[in-house]
């Protein structure tokens, strides 16, 4: 196909680390990318808060008025890389109203207002593409939505936040405490000054919502995602995990329950070291998908950074520009299955519980009885004495969160139990 005469004109909202990467690559490679799209593309306008010089970008492209871009009838395609909910939401909705297709990397917006945006775009016959919103450069949206369109996903587990994976990797490999590594990560620019969004799992929860919605053909928002971060994980937890051939990872997990509900959650997990996700180190991301026909799949790569995110955005830009030229639209997410979200209390996993107890006869028996009374079956018990106290490490068989919580409440009331040091979920290649 030879490039059509009328170019696809592109406006970009935001020009930070990702946006400036997108602009530079798009300007430098316009000819090749246009050949791939089958239509000439042109980066026409860029909205920024303050106009300043950007290397390799013509200053005449900039404006401080983003609405002038989404209201410009000459612009066909909007790249949104400003982030945040407002004004990004209003700008995108205005762009769609004005019949422009949208490429966005805005996971927070998609995970909170996705339904509204998709509905509007589909009504107008426009694309919303968002490959860059989850796991940076890793193709995961397109495989989930397009490649697996003929299959049935049953479960996915992902390392989708690079900052926390970096921190956990350092805790494992250098035997360091969480706070110590976090401080270093902040100094290196791997973690924000306010690290809450990463460390407490909010970023991963937004990505979990996006992926589970695609996987299970249901609208899932970030409010549907159960969430725990890694700030309570101690070096002692890490050492115990390692002694049991496991590693601790912050995972986004989404799976169908036996009742055909969606269980979707983000929390630290003890993962057996033989699991493919266990060897994903540093700031790398990976998503492990199980589907009925395909079996197990894994997608691995860089989850953040200017150039990797720009790669994902430009892949979307080529596809959407092509659809504009062909007067067509791409594959769409569907919500026909409309499944319910399972309450976290009914989610089944295994648990590791570490207890400090008085080291005297009968304590272990009474602890075991407490587990049994709540219907929680014990897989392994390990007791290590120290002076008059003992530390007991228990791994359960599959139990619901509700059963486990009730067990922990009862344990806390026992005189012999001095402290419950940690409760961590266990996933991977251990027998059920």
Active-site annotation, residues: 207
Told to check if 37 binds its own copies by CB under 8 A, we report yes
Told to check if 316 binds its own copies by CB under 8 A, we report yes
3-state secondary structure of 16: coil
- Is residue 414 within 8 Å of residue 366, measured between CB atoms? yes
Q: Is 84 annotated as a binding residue?
A: no
Told to check if 322 binds its own copies by CB under 8 A, we report yes
- Chain positions 115 to 144 lying near its own copies, rule: CB under 8 A, are 122, 131, 137-139, 142-143
Tell me the closest approach of the beta carbon of residue 326 to its own copies, in angstroms: 5
Sign of CA dihedral 110, 112, 114, 117: negative
Please pick, from the candidates 64, 196, 331, 369, the single residue that binds its own copies as defined by CB under 8 A: 331
Q: How far apart are CA 257 and CA 212, in angstroms?
A: 13
What is the torsion angle, in degrees rounded to the nearest 10, for the CA atoms of residue 98, residue 103, residue 106 and residue 111?
80
The stretch among 146-154, 179-187, 222-230, 369-377 that binds its own copies (CB under 8 A) is 146-154
- Please tell me the count of residues contacting its own copies according to CB under 8 A: 62
Q: Is 13 annotated as a binding residue?
A: yes
The stretch among 36-44, 159-167, 234-242, 364-372 that binds its own copies (CB under 8 A) is 36-44
Q: How far apart are CA 70 and CA 98, in angstroms?
A: 7
Nearest to 128 by CA among 151, 150, 145: 145
List Cα–Cα distances, 294 to 149, 150, 180, 290, 298, in angstroms.
11, 10, 42, 7, 11
Phi, psi dihedrals of residue 338, rounded to the nearest 5° = 45, 55
Tell me the closest approach of the beta carbon of residue 430 to its own copies, in angstroms: 19
Told to check if 184 binds its own copies by CB under 8 A, we report no
Residue 158 bridge partners (DSSP): 252, 287
Q: How far apart are CA 365 and CA 354, in angstroms?
A: 16
Tell me the closest approach of the beta carbon of residue 274 to its own copies, in angstroms: 9
Tell me the closest approach of the beta carbon of residue 417 to its own copies, in angstroms: 41
Q: How far apart are CA 425 and CA 190, in angstroms?
A: 26
The stretch among 70-78, 198-206, 295-303, 401-409 that binds its own copies (CB under 8 A) is 295-303
Which of 115/294 has CB closer to its own copies?
294
Q: How far apart are CA 152 and CA 3, in angstroms?
A: 37
Q: How many CA atoms lie within 13 A of 420 on its CB side?
A: 18
Phi, psi dihedrals of residue 341, rounded to the nearest 5° = -90, 130
* Other CB atoms within 10 Å distance of the CB of residue 306: 17
Told to check if 79 binds its own copies by CB under 8 A, we report no
Q: Is 68 annotated as a binding residue?
A: no
Please pick, from the candidates 217, 272, 397, 405, the single residue that binds its own copies as defined by CB under 8 A: 217
Told to check if 93 binds its own copies by CB under 8 A, we report no
The stretch among 109-117, 198-206, 296-304, 402-410 that binds its own copies (CB under 8 A) is 296-304
The residue count for the chain: 432
Residue ranges for the known binding site are 13-20, 107, 192
Residue ranges for the known binding site for L-homoserine are 192
Site residues (vs its own copies, CB under 8 A): 1, 21, 25, 29, 32-33, 35-38, 122, 131, 137-139, 142-143, 146-152, 217, 276, 279, 291-302, 305, 307-308, 310-319, 322-323, 326-329, 331-332, 334, 336
């Amino acid at each position: 196909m030879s490039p059509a005469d009328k170019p696809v004109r592109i406006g970009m909202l935001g020009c930070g680390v990702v946006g400036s990467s997108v602009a530079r690559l798009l300007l430098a490679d316009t000819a090749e990318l246009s050949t791939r799209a089958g239509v000439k593309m042109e980066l026409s306008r860029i909205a920024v808060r303050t106009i300043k010089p950007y290397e390799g970008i013509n200053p005449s492209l900039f404006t401080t008025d983003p609405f002038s871009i989404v209201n410009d009838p000459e612009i066909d395609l909007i790249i949104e890389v400003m982030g945040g909910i407002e004004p990004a939401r209003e700008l995108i909705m205005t762009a769609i109203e004005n019949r422009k297709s949208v490429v966005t990397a805005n996971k927070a917006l998609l995970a909170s207002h996705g339904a509204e945006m998709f509905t509007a775009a589909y009504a107008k016959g426009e694309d919303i593409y968002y490959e860059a919103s989850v796991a940076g450069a890793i193709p995961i949206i397109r495989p989930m939505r397009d490649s697996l369109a003929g299959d049935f996903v049953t479960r996915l587990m992902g390392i989708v936040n690079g900052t926390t994976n970096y921190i956990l990797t350092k805790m494992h490999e250098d035997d360091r405490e969480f706070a110590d590594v976090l401080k270093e990560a902040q100094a290196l620019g791997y973690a924000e000054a306010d690290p809450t969004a990463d460390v407490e799992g909010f970023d991963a929860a937004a990505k979990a919502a996006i992926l589970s919605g695609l996987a299970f053909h249901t609208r899932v928002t970030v409010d549907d995602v159960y969430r725990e971060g890694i700030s309570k994980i101690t070096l002692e937890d890490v050492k115990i995990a390692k002694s049991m051939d496991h590693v601790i990872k912050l995972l986004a997990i989404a799976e169908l329950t036996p009742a055909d509900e969606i269980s979707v959650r983000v929390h630290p997990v003890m993962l057996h070291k033989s699991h493919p996700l266990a060897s994903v180190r540093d700031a790398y991301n990976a998503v492990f998908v199980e589907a009925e026909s395909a079996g197990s799949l894994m997608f691995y790569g860089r989850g953040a950074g200017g150039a990797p995110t720009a790669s994902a955005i430009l892949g979307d830009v080529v596809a959407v520009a092509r659809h504009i030229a062909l007067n067509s639209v791409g594959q769409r997410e569907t919500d026909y299955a409309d499944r319910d979200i399972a309450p976290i209390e009914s989610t089944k996993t295994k648990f590791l519980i570490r207890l400090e107890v008085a080291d005297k006869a009968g304590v272990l028996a009474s602890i075991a009885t407490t587990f049994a009374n709540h219907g929680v079956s014990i897989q392994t018990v390990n007791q290590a004495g120290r002076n008059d106290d003992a530390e007991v490490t228990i791994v359960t068989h599959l139990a619901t969160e509700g059963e486990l919580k009730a067990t922990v409440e009862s344990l806390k009331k026992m005189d012999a139990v001095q402290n419950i040091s940690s409760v961590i979920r266990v996933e991977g290649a251990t027998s059920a």
